[in-house]
Chains A and B, each alone.
Chain A
Amino acid sequence: MDQFLQALINGVMLGGFYAVMVLGFSVIWGVMGVINLAHGELVMLGAYITWVLNKQFGWEPFAALVVVMPVMFVLGYILQRVLINRVVERPHLISLLVTFGLGIMLSNSVKLIYTADPRQTKTALSGFWRVGQITFPVTKTYILLAALIIMLLLYLFLQYTRTGKSIRAAAQNREAARIVGIEIHQVYAITFAICTALTGAAGMLISPTQAIFPFMGPPLTLKAFAITAMSGLGSIPGALMGGIVLGLVEVFIATYIPGIGTNLGIVSSFVLLVVVLVTRPQGLFGGLQPATEVR
């Protein structure tokens, strides 16, 4: 029973990270119909920025968010303006190729600068809290907390601000967004910037618990893809639920199937995806709708 509860807690904590990790991917897909294959590399960049601040300047990793998010925001804005705006609204294959190439460039650039050695950040928020037989890892608890706060802020932003509304409008009906006077490429740039900032934040969140290396990106992109396909495009509750489902499945497999460890993560996410798509083709929460096509 304790082992079960422990796995439950660990799964939810992992799920919180996945939820933040997937949001940027899923909102970009929902708003502009671009499947960003460089997503994992953006997580990696966020993690490396955190590591540099932690290692060279002694920053607390969580405090690094105040640098990571603005830097990634600007990077996202520039990427969108010079690169993605040229391929958005073109056939999917083109944006897939462009973002795939971008991912390769990013990971190899980081490798040239920092080598391929695995890194990790050190946080003061470590250790364990014990409640009965259950332990709460402190770092992961803060990660979950930070994830929930980030998601809440994103929700409030999308729901109540003018820019947030224009992003939702563009996701729901691109042509209608244009006719009410929304400057669609500006919305795309802001969306990409915000999503890149979120994704960078996910990189910070992963940095104290997992090895950071230049080629950590692709498995994360795959998981983001699986969660998005399960939970719907641009849906925050969907991302949270999908993230937690995947976190739970991974942790339970690692806990109850001996000798496998966590290496089945990717496999389990895709088995889960196949099961969901076979049983509920509209996605777990019915949110799977492509962005509207417009000439």
Chain B
Amino acid sequence: MLNEERPLLEVQDIYAGYQDFDILQGVSLHVKPGEIVCVIGPNGAGKSTVFKALYGFLRIRRGRVLFDDRDITNIRPQDALRAGITIVPQLRSVFPQMTVLENLEMGMYLERDKERVRRRIEYIFELFPRLAERAKQKAGTMSGGEQRMLEIGRALMWEPKLVLMDEPSAGLAPLITKAIFQQIRRLNQEIGLTVLMIEQNARQGLEISHRGYVLELGRNSYEGTGRELIENPEVRRAFLGGR
């Protein structure tokens, strides 16, 4: 049923990189509303570069990005946000000296209606009761898993249509990773959150995803449903450590 909908995000054959060298050499992918889509691939395949290009941190030299039927190729970060895309970066991105509450407020920095910000914070606190308990705590003093949850909460403040997650499991212990993945799946089921994520932890990432892409040497090499990729013998051998 999902498959008949128009894609929310459509990346068409993009080339992007640093100076003279294109790290991405023809990446195409799409995300439909309500989907979790996971991009896997070896180190250096350009997974994070895809996000940098989508979010305007890096220039796209060729190809197009469509979002919500609009051309958003080489959009500025603020405008990506206004269009409805937020991002949870791979590296720690909380504001460590600010409280949990202030961090969430910063998620809606561009919104000037304070009442709306307050309502969104209440909503996020309902979704993540753990964050509500820690509202007054400095974000930098929380555990890695809690900080990751705060980063996701902050990305949801903006009521995004699409959240980009760059290795949500990076730097987390296996049990915490599992909990974060469960949260992502829960958000997808409960509030229909659409997620495009990059994951080093390929098997777990694919397990909670509707579809996935394999990125190799700056291009996509395989695509399919999460299950198809997990069961594809070549993908298994190359990326999942199985036989």
- Contacting pair A178 B98 (CB below 8 A): no
Interface residue ranges of A164-195 to B (CB < 8 Å): 165-166, 168-169, 172-173, 175-183
A interface majority secondary structure: helix
Interface residue ranges of B110-165 to A (CB < 8 Å): 110, 154
- Contacting pair B97 A180 (CB below 8 A): no
Residue of B nearest to A183 (CB): B78
Query: Shortest CB–CB separation between residue B94 and chain A, in angstroms?
Result: 7
Query: Given the complex, which residues of A lie within 8 Å of B105, measured CB to CB?
Result: 165
Could you tell me the distance between the alpha carbons of A177 and B89 in the complex, rounded to whole angstroms?
A: 12
Could you tell me the distance between the alpha carbons of A165 and B87 in the complex, rounded to whole angstroms?
A: 20
Query: Given the complex, which residues of B lie within 8 Å of A179, measured CB to CB?
Result: 55, 77, 81, 86-87, 89, 93
Check B96 for interface membership: any CB of A closer than 8 A.
Answer: yes
Query: Given the complex, which residues of B lie within 8 Å of A176, measured CB to CB?
Result: 89, 93-95, 106
Could you tell me the distance between the alpha carbons of A183 and B242 in the complex, rounded to whole angstroms?
A: 45
Residue of A nearest to B112 (CB): A162
Q: Which A residues are within 8 Å of any B CB, using their own CB?
A: 162, 165-166, 168-169, 172-173, 175-183, 295
Give the interface residue-count category, chain B. Answer: 20 to 34
Could you tell me the distance between the alpha carbons of A183 and B109 in the complex, rounded to whole angstroms?
A: 11
- Report the tally of A-B residue pairs with Cβ distances under 8 A: 55
Could you tell me the distance between the alpha carbons of A182 and B96 in the complex, rounded to whole angstroms?
A: 17
Query: Shortest CB–CB separation between residue B120 and chain A, in angstroms?
Result: 13
- Contacting pair B109 A166 (CB below 8 A): yes
Tell me whether A180 and B89 are in contact in the complex, defined as CB-CB below 8 angstroms, given that A172-B97, A172-B98 are known contacts: no
Contact of B109 among A175, A182, A295 (CB under 8 A): A182
Could you tell me the distance between the alpha carbons of A176 and B94 in the complex, rounded to whole angstroms?
A: 7
Residue of A nearest to B56 (CB): A178
Query: Shortest CB–CB separation between residue B202 and chain A, in angstroms?
Result: 25
Could you tell me the distance between the alpha carbons of A165 and B97 in the complex, rounded to whole angstroms?
A: 11
- Contacting pair A168 B98 (CB below 8 A): yes
Residue of A nearest to B93 (CB): A176
Tell me whether A295 and B95 are in contact in the complex, defined as CB-CB below 8 angstroms, given that A165-B102, A181-B110 are known contacts: no
Query: Given the complex, which residues of B lie within 8 Å of A178, measured CB to CB?
Result: 57, 77
- Contacting pair A172 B95 (CB below 8 A): yes
Tell me whether A165 and B78 are in contact in the complex, defined as CB-CB below 8 angstroms, given that A173-B94, A173-B95 are known contacts: no
- Contacting pair A175 B97 (CB below 8 A): no
Query: Given the complex, which residues of A lie within 8 Å of B172, measured CB to CB?
Result: none
Query: Shortest CB–CB separation between residue B81 and chain A, in angstroms?
Result: 5
Query: Given the complex, which residues of A lie within 8 Å of B87, measured CB to CB?
Result: 179
Tell me whether A181 and B98 are in contact in the complex, defined as CB-CB below 8 angstroms, given that A166-B109, A173-B93 are known contacts: no
- Contacting pair A180 B107 (CB below 8 A): yes
Could you tell me the distance between the alpha carbons of A117 and B97 in the complex, rounded to whole angstroms?
A: 46
Residue of A nearest to B106 (CB): A180
- Contacting pair B96 A173 (CB below 8 A): yes
